[in-house]
A and B are shown apart, each in its own frame.
Chain A
């Protein structure tokens, strides 16, 4: 799609959208947000980019194949599940680590890794489908 307004707006928006998706992702545990929603916004950002500049350019921006993204997501899910097993607890039990850095408390946890996995899978899924559909027409007639 060739549209000056869309192109300019997209250029400005993509960074904000990605940041926003990360913001949504990280606040997810306590406020509305999380891996799924964050992933959707992230995917939305790249979808917008793909519509404005085409898939070739989006591939360059993304740098990584969406299917690979899905694979990393699945790996993250499995890792978060395996972590508790090293201390003899059932698969997928949440393990937490509370860190005091400065005045803020940082919560590191296996559910966080799990959420990262969800995020990657969601982004990978939508971008993969968009790429597949955008690259060439489905029906030649």
Chain B
């Protein structure tokens, strides 16, 4: 599995080169990659169906307290997700090559979508908590690139940032939850955690773990009140929406909670939080979908509704809910993937996505019409499609809820009525009715763009009519994976006349009624208020938070970095003196037993001469240059002291650094205006006190440090090991390049970055001033 994911990442990076060679055939070629992964995953199906699991592990980072392994774990749940990701991914790559054909940035799309696919596959297959998190964040970053694909447009950049911030903050919470979980149980592999549910549930940190993990899952899967970012992210090109926002990324949160259900679930808190937020999300977003006329917005809110339904099922936590979850996930991925792709095809061929400006396209785009029709029937939950089975199971699960079954079932029915109406809107409006003049002359989309929707729609029919194709092989292991123990069930279309069926009929009738009155309903005042309340207020709140944060940052920057270097120095020194001084004095007190017996007379003389002359020069000096040079003299004298004590290396470094520092500072100061005496006596007095207190503190610290007995264990080790282990007699150099090479490497990287930054900063300032001069 590591090889599959690695291969996807590798090909992603090579794809621009491939595109240069194959041009418009690239899509067909690259689609082989997810197809191959799909077949690879499918080859495990017999073993998984027989109740087995597959675990593969490669050591990655190994430390004393915890390990990060590239461990992969395949059971029914991850297999189902893996198949959805690679299967739909195959069509998306193809579809993208058609949809973005001729776009100059098409190679970028290939890179980002393949990187995303690899990361997503990593999330569902990874077994180690930390590696799940790494892949999880990779999906956030790659989706940022994908949502912001049309980077010239401001709204698409804003939507990308919004999605990144919302899911990113959730991701950080998730990391916290995972680390707590790892420490609470001592296990970092999910497969091992699955048997440790009781330990976690009884752990004092259970609530904290649960809340943190939920924060990650709810933001990623757009649960109320974070539901606003997903429809916003519809600024992405349609292939991206079809993939990220229906089939894969937004389901990562669902996957995570499903995966964690045996560990964190089965408690009342879980039921109330997950079930409750799921229920709220599904009801709110189902009706929101009716307040828009943009195909993608309608579909986006119906996706949020589906995510809410999945969360609700996970929250209910009964056997029947797990069945429903598995079936619902698969059926939703198929119909929503198909509908998004058709919506993109309509947009591409007719030039608009607004249902008010579309109509009668079925004659012009027959294949897309068939695909959309079948997919919408599945979404509406009409027999004999797969979506019908899913919806029946959702109703059954809601009826069996341990908490407030009446509430769950009535809200679920109410939400599903809206979804039936939305399904009707997205198919009947564009394809049926009178032909309407569209911005572009519509015709059927190319093969690459209808192959996916049609296949997915046909599968919805096939799995609905012949549910035995998937129930024992895929649905059963997937549901068992969420449940934590093997389940046994089968799927069928006909259960006899029972309550769920009656509710389904009521839902359908209600939904069609809503569709009839949709136009006046959409324009009505309550619907406008509803849309404003649930769609716009969260966005406003988000924007308010971001602006507030920027305002705070601006304020504290103005206060702390007001452009006067003397102020920076004051702030730094006062903070250091207060913080260090308080800690030092309160912890260890003043230690004063200096031993001056082995200090020679010439050392005394040297130190005093340097300090006194320096003090005089700095106090009475009239130019900056004199002062800098004077300060440099201290450095040179220090080198002399090093030399006296036999540290030739240090002395040499000191002299060279000091020389170069003085040169650099002089180069800067040459351009600074002459020193003017603008300071009042009061400020001189204040600065004097601050300087003196800093000096006294340092002296006290050095006394305290030298008072402790000197342990030569470390220096002795280096002296002894230097030649035998590292073949060098110069200990300083050996430590730098061998024993502590990683440290040195870090420091050199800092130096390198600083160098590049200084160069860029000076160059940029100059470029800025020169353009400003030209303009003025």
Chain A positions within 8 Å of B, measured between CB atoms, are 28-37, 40-41, 43-44, 47, 51, 66-67, 70-71, 73-74, 77, 80-81, 91-92, 94, 96, 107, 109, 111, 114-115, 117-118, 121-122, 124-126, 128-134, 136-141
Contacts and interface: CB of A to CB of B under 8 A. Distances in A.
Contacts of B671: 137-139
Interface in B7-24: none
A29 B734 contact: yes
A96 B727 contact: yes
B660 A40 contact: yes
Nearest to A43: B660
Contacts of A41: 656
B657 A40 contact: yes
Interface in B650-690: 652-653, 656-657, 659-660, 663-664, 667-668, 671-673
B733 interface: yes
- Residue from B648, B660, B741, B758 whose CB has the most chain A CB atoms within 10 Å: B741
A37 to B, nearest CB: 5
A125 B737 contact: no
Contacts of A133: 664, 667-668, 762
A117 B749 CA distance: 10
- Residue from B659, B664, B738, B754 whose CB has the most chain A CB atoms within 10 Å: B738
B751 interface: yes
B756 interface: yes
A125 B752 contact: yes
A130 B664 contact: yes
B603 interface: no
A67 to B, nearest CB: 6
B738 A37 contact: no
B649 interface: yes
B765 interface: yes
A94 B738 contact: yes
Contact of B755 (A32, A66, A80, A138): A66
A44 to B, nearest CB: 6
Interface string B734-776: 1011100110110011011011101101110110010001000
A29 to B, nearest CB: 4
Contact of B737 (A43, A111, A136, A139): A111
A47 B662 CA distance: 12
Given A34-B737, A121-B751, A130-B667, 19 more contacts: A29-B733, A33-B730, A34-B733, A35-B736, A40-B656, A40-B660, A66-B755, A74-B749, A92-B745, A94-B738, A94-B741, A111-B726, A111-B737, A115-B737, A121-B752, A125-B755, A129-B758, A132-B761, A133-B667
A35 B755 contact: no
A136 B748 contact: no
- Residue from B659, B734, B752 whose CB has the most chain A CB atoms within 10 Å: B752
B652 A32 contact: yes
B729 to A, nearest CB: 4
Contacts of A125: 751-752, 754-755
A13 B148 CA distance: 56
Contact of B748 (A33, A47, A74): A74
Interface string B319-334: 0000000000000000
The 3 closest A-B pairs by CB, nearest first: A125-B755, A40-B656, A132-B762
22 contacts: A28-B733, A29-B728, A32-B648, A32-B652, A35-B737, A36-B736, A37-B656, A40-B660, A44-B659, A44-B660, A51-B663, A70-B755, A73-B748, A114-B737, A114-B744, A114-B745, A115-B733, A118-B736, A118-B737, A129-B759, A138-B762, A139-B673
A77 B656 CA distance: 23
A93 to B, nearest CB: 9
B364 interface: no
A43 B749 CA distance: 18
A81 B727 contact: no
Contact of A30 (B673, B729, B741): B729
B591 to A, nearest CB: 34
A51 B738 CA distance: 36
Contacts of A136: 766
Nearest to A28: B733
A129 to B, nearest CB: 5
B733 A44 contact: no
A46 to B, nearest CB: 11
B5 interface: no
A124 B727 contact: no
A109 B672 contact: no
Contacts of A35: 736-737
B618 interface: no
A91 B732 CA distance: 21
B409 to A, nearest CB: 59
A67 B755 contact: yes
Nearest to B752: A70
A81 to B, nearest CB: 7
A119 B728 CA distance: 18
A34 B652 CA distance: 11
Contacts of A33: 649, 652, 730, 733
A129 B75 CA distance: 57
- Residue from A91, A121, A129, A130 whose CB has the most chain B CB atoms within 10 Å: A129
A141 B758 contact: no
A134 B656 CA distance: 20
A127 B762 CA distance: 14
A47 B656 contact: no
Contacts of A37: 649, 652-653, 656
B668 A118 contact: no
Nearest to A113: B737
Contacts of B653: 36-37, 40
A34 B733 CA distance: 6
B729 A31 contact: yes
A109 B741 CA distance: 14
A140 B769 contact: yes
A49 to B, nearest CB: 12
Contacts of B738: 94, 111
A21 B613 CA distance: 33
A118 B748 contact: yes
